[in-house]
Amino acid sequence: METKHNASKFKELFDSYYTRLYYAAVAIVKDPMAAEDIVEDVFVRFWERMEILDTDDKAIYTYLFRMTYNKCDDYMRHRNVQLRFNKHYLRLHSEGFMADDNLFDERMGVVERVRKVMPDKTRQIMDLCYYENKQYTEVAAIVGLSKDGVRKHVMKALAMLREAFSVKKRKRQ
């Protein structure tokens, strides 16, 4: 009976606040699809924690709005990192760093060697993220992990690639 009460209360809150939170997210991230994903993530997280958040509707709205704002902030920071990487890649490409076919082939060979020694799950996640251009949310659904779990695998793989491309390691003195 408790679950049914929670479901009806959740539906009532969802119906009341979804549109407001969605438009707030769109105003921040300027991307309707991302805003939709963000607000859905907020409500999923809220559903998971609903039993311990037994409070009045105004406090719940404040909580949901703060969660939405924080998720938008995380999204924008991640997007800025991606944009900086893209600019850096384009700059390197335009300066001829990647223009030499032999150098490009050599670097891709290093990437392939590193891919082969990655754990299976990490390699699968990297392939989905970088070869198939899927977002962390999509990859999480495919591999059965949370977005944070996907992010950890990506960070692990990127660390492996950085190490493979490092020319010289600094010695601690």
Q: pLDDT tens string for the chain (173 positions)?
A: 355 557 888 888 899 999 999 999 999 999 999 999 999 999 999 988 887 766 677 788 899 999 999 999 999 998 888 888 877 777 766 655 555 667 777 878 888 888 899 999 999 998 888 878 888 988 999 999 999 999 999 999 888 888 888 854 444 44
Query: What pTM does this model have?
Result: 0.50
C-alpha triplet 97, 103, 107: angle, nearest 5°: 100
Q: Please give the pLDDT value at position 170.
A: 46
- Angstrom distance (rounded) from CA 110 to CA 132: 20
The dihedral built from the CA positions of residue 69, 75, 79 and 82, taken in this order, carries a sign that is positive
CA distances from 130 to 122, 139, 154 (A): 12, 11, 10
Q: Please give the pLDDT value at position 64.
A: 93
CA distances from 38 to 67, 78, 101, 108, 161 (A): 9, 13, 41, 34, 30
- Beta carbons within 10 angstroms of residue 170's beta carbon: 6
